[in-house]
C-alpha cells in the first residue's frame, strides 16, 4: 500500500467533506434520531459505497483516457457547474 497516496487522499477528502451537505444532513439526522449509532453506520456506509463507486469508475476511466485528459475534463466540468449555478441560481 502506498502510504503517501493514502494520507493525501484522506487529507483532501476529509477537508472537502467538512461542512458540506453530507455532513449537514448527517447532523440533521442525528439531531432527530434516538439512535446516533444507526445514523453513523448509515452515513459511513453511504460514504464508503460512494467512494467505492468513485474508485471503480476512476479505474475504468483511467483505462480509456490519459490522466491529463481526466484532470482537464474534471476542471471543465467544475467550471461549467459553477457557471450554471451562477447563471441559474434556482430557488433558495
Per-residue pLDDT of the chain (92 residues; tens, 9 = 90+): 899 999 999 999 999 888 888 899 999 999 999 999 999 999 999 999 999 999 999 999 999 999 999 999 999 999 999 999 899 887 65
| DSSP code for 34 | S
The confidence score (pLDDT) of residue 91 equals: 62
How far apart, in whole angstroms, are the C-alpha atoms of residue 26 and residue 21? Answer: 8
Q: What is the DSSP letter of 20?
A: S
- Residue 72 CA, chain-centre distance (Å), reads 18
Residues 6+ away with beta carbon under 8 Å from 46: 22
pTM: 0.69
Sign, CA dihedral 48-37-8-24, equals: positive
What letter does residue 65 receive in the DSSP assignment? S
Amino acid at each position: 500500500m502506498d502510504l503517501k497516496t493514502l494520507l493525501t487522499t484522506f487529507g483532501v477528502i476529509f477537508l472537502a467533506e467538512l461542512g458540506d451537505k453530507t455532513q449537514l444532513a448527517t447532523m440533521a439526522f442525528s439531531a432527530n434520531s434516538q439512535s446516533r449509532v444507526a445514523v453513523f453506520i448509515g452515513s459511513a456506509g453511504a460514504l464508503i459505497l460512494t467512494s467505492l463507486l468513485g474508485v471503480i469508475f476512476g479505474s475504468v476511466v483511467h483505462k480509456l483516457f490519459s490522466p491529463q485528459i481526466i484532470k482537464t475534463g474534471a476542471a471543465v466540468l467544475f467550471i461549467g457547474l459553477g457557471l450554471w449555478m451562477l447563471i441559474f441560481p434556482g430557488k433558495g
